[in-house]
Structure 1
Amino acid sequence: MPASRLLPSDEAVDLIGLVRDLATQELAPLVAEAERTEAFPREVFRTLGRAGLLGLPYPEEYGGGALPYEVYLQVLEEVGAVWASVGVGISVHALSCFGLATAGTEDQRQRWLPDMLGGELLGAYCLSEPHAGSDPAAMRTRARRDGDEWVISGAKAWTTHGGHADFYKVMARTGDARGDISCFLVPADAPGLVADPPEHKMGLTGSATATMRFDDVRVPADRLLGQEGDGLKIALAGLDAGRLGIAAVATGLAQGALDHAVAYAKERETFGERIIDHQGLAFVLADMEAAIQSARAMTLHAARLKDQGLPYGREASIAKLVATDNAMKVTTDAVQVLGGYGYTRDFPVERYMREAKVMQIFEGTNQIQRMVIGRSLDRAGGGSLHLAR
């Protein structure tokens, strides 16, 4: 049973219908084999790009779709319900465009952003390092100025699309203080930039994740985004939006697991009845539905705050925390509903369960989200009610 949606316009309804059809007809037949063989679906991203789905939240003047986040996240959810690796990939691509779109000069945006949003180019985001994941200010990758160029040296871990992307948004240290970090837009063909073999992961095996190594990679000075030292600010601002993307994909993943569990429960019989007619099983499915609806509501609440230009960082962390924790619980329950079959690869729910785990880890672990939420409560004044139309 696909999710019911309340959308703000007829155009949004048409878009969601298009995405649902594309996911069902074009993506679904490819998922199992691509995930089994760990094949990166580069052509799928080109197809989505040509359909205009890689630049949805960005301005039309640069080739984007100018969609409110409320709608964009529901697109991600529809994709995530069928193929989480691709849903995560769309979110990561949007995050990799964020620095240029928000901190780049008008000349930089005009030169590079249309190609990045137009679908032919795929982006990646380089922030984490082997010893600096949850604490990005501890990064060691450095960029030094050499005349009209920057020279970048170091390594970036856990890079989604690593080795397959056409450009990389890179955070690198440009000074000795913790906050002396800058943001660079690095083309994939820059000499000295190489990808390690991809990580062998528990889930999202169709999504390439690799360490990227920068061996004195030279980029022109105009590849600096924002001012020198603005990198951490750019990174953290982008992560709020990125957390909403992951919350949406996790919600879609949980919805897909529930859909398979309900379909199975309607067909499987024990003791002369469909198993959905047994109260104990029906209650499990009801709890799964409640968890998904709660995650969706929180995610869209945060998106609507963002669309109104209101602070939404705390809500983004809550959405990421709730949606990904709920996805882990829902997918685990989906395996339980299918019993022994759920533990086999004949059904996709075991894959959903493996994919859900990483959603509690990337874009800031859920322990980090709890820290962010707790600190925001400490900083909040007596009345933090926002009223908007």
Structure 2
Amino acid sequence: MSSPAAARSATLPPLDLGRLPAVTEALAARAAEHDRDASFPAEGFTLAQEAGLLTATVAARHGGPGAGLADTARILRALGAGDPAVALVTAMTLFTHAAEARTAGWPAAAYGRLLDEAAAAPVLLNFLRVEPELGSPVRGGLPATTARRDGAHWLLTGRKIYSTGAVGLSRMLVFARTDENPVRVGSFIVRAGSPGLTVEPTWDHLGLRASRSDDVVLDSVRVPLADVIGLAEAGDTPGARPDPETGAWSALGLSALYLGVAGAARDWLTGFLHERVPTALGAPLATLPRFQTAVGEIETALFGANTLVDTVAARVDSGDLAAAEQAGAVKVLAVRAAVSSVEGALALTGNHGLTRANPLQRHYRDVLCGRVHTPQDDSVLLTTGRAALARSGHRPAPKGN
């Protein structure tokens, strides 16, 4: 049974997808500055909140729009074209609300308070899972971060790395183990500013520099006993390996984000080719068949990848489990298309594309980050290959002519 709907005393901002082009433009205006300084783009989340984007996936039973994966992909593609750091933290927030919409796991009171805050200001959420020794729990293993019971609270102690948006998060959902026997694991709801919570500025990355994916250190941070999501015996490792639908949201949503980055790179490229008029040519580079063909390659790759993401996202929204299980393969294809498209743009522009004053080099650094998100290529290809071999069984291979 689902928990009761969260008690509400405020109204969430309405979702306005018509504002996406303006939000994209506003984010893009400051993206280079935030990349250069590795500064958190707080004003970008205010724009997203005012357009209802940060709460788009809040369930209708909680007073939200209840947006599905297809609309979420549309949002993340637009934000990724403007500032992928804003898009990435927004993605984590939207995925969290979407998971709650599908299967209630938050304590009703805690979720109600969170939504009341989200009605008035940006409320950013993320699951903190990765640790120095563990790596990503998706590949197995128990977290070192420990929750010890102390009266009416848990005391959390540990370190999380690659904690996207850490400096701006309102709630950190910390994957941790209890010190009980048998051990239980779950995601403990930690409020920003809690005593014993420290964000260490360790993020010094090639791409997505403004995402501030810093280390989070917890030293006996107090969490009410009830404020845990999915607490269960460690043998089940809840939350470590996502169910197909949860995995599809992450794979397709992030694919859309990086396709947005690639789309921004394409737009800069086409503008450059129209503006660049070499003296010897006496005409824009855009008039040359070689450049037209190369842009056609990029446009075709992005069209195919975007269509694939949107089509499979719509199928997931319709309840198609087979589509959800194929989302990892879609991510492999989409991220490859995004990266190759930006690489193609760099090949066409040479030194111009790699000049710090031009955004193409930033788009390239950012789009490369698409490869590191779960599911990663090796795990997707292994699973897909095994499934294909299992389907074929021991049937003899067809003979050639």
Aligned equivalent of 1:86: 86
2:326 equivalent to 1:315? yes
8 Å Cα contact 2:247/2:327 also seen in 1 = no
TM-score, normalised with respect to structure 2: 0.83
Out of 324, 338, 341, the residue aligned to residue 327 of structure 1 is: 338
CA distance in structure 1 between the aligned counterparts of 2:154 and 2:386, rounded to whole angstroms: 36
Q: TM-score, normalised by structure 1?
A: 0.85
5 Å matches for 1:120-199? 120-136=122-138, 137-138=140-141, 139-174=143-178, 180-199=184-203
- Equivalent pairs: percent with the same residue? 25
The letter of the residue matching 1:194 is: T
1:105, 1:249 → 2: CA distance? 27
Residue 22 of structure 2 corresponds to 21
Once residues 106 and 211 of structure 1 are traced to their aligned partners in structure 2, the CA distance between those partners, rounded to angstroms, is 27
Q: 2:363, 2:136 → 1: CA distance?
A: 25
SS in 2 for 1:233: coil
Q: Which moved more, 1:170-179 or 1:51-60?
A: 170-179
Given that 1:314 and 1:376 are in contact with CA atoms closer than 8 Å, whether structure 2 keeps it comes out as no
Q: Distance in 2 between matches of 1:264 and 1:352?
A: 15
Q: CA deviation at 1:273?
A: 3.9
Q: 8 Å contact 2:203–2:209 — kept in the other structure?
A: no
Number of matched pairs: 368
Q: CA RMSD in A?
A: 2.7
Report the CA distance between 1:150 and its aligned residue.
1.8
Shift of 1:239: 4.0
* Matches of 2:359 and 2:88, distance apart in 1: 18
Letter in 2 for 1:233: P
Gaps of 5+ in 1: 1-13, 383-389
- Counterpart CA distance in 2 for 1:357 and 1:62 is 37
The aligned residue for residue 4 of structure 2 is none
Q: Secondary structure at the match of 2:210?
A: coil
Structure 2 residue identity aligned to 1:75: I
Q: Name the CA shift for 1:55/1:177 in 2 (closer, same or farther; >3 Å).
A: farther
User: Which residue identity does 1:111 align to in structure 2?
Assistant: G
Is 1:40 paired with 2:40?
yes
In the alignment, is the contact (CA less than 8 A) between 2:107 and 2:226 conserved in 1? Answer: no
> Once structures 1 and 2 are overlaid, which stretch shifts more, 172-181 or 356-365?
172-181
Say if 1:109 and 1:313 are closer, same or farther in 2 by CA, change over 3 A: farther
Q: Which residue of 1 aligns with 2:301?
A: 291
Tell me if 1:361 matches 2:369. Answer: no
**CA separation of 1:56/1:88 partners in 2, compared to 1, >3 Å: closer, same or farther?**
same
Q: Partner of 2:204 in structure 1?
A: 200
Distance 1:21 1:188, change over 3 A: same
Q: Matched residue of 1:345: which SS?
A: coil
Larger mean CA deviation between 141-150 and 284-293 belongs to 141-150
Determine if contact 2:57/2:65 at 8 Å carries over to the other structure.
yes
2:239 pairs with one of 229, 234, 237: 234
Cα 1:301–1:269, aligned 2, differ >3 Å: closer, same or farther? same
Give the greater-gyration-radius structure (CA). 2
Q: How many Å apart are 1:109 and its aligned residue?
A: 6.3
Partner residue of 2:227? 223
Inter-partner Cα distance in structure 1 for 2:182 and 2:95: 23
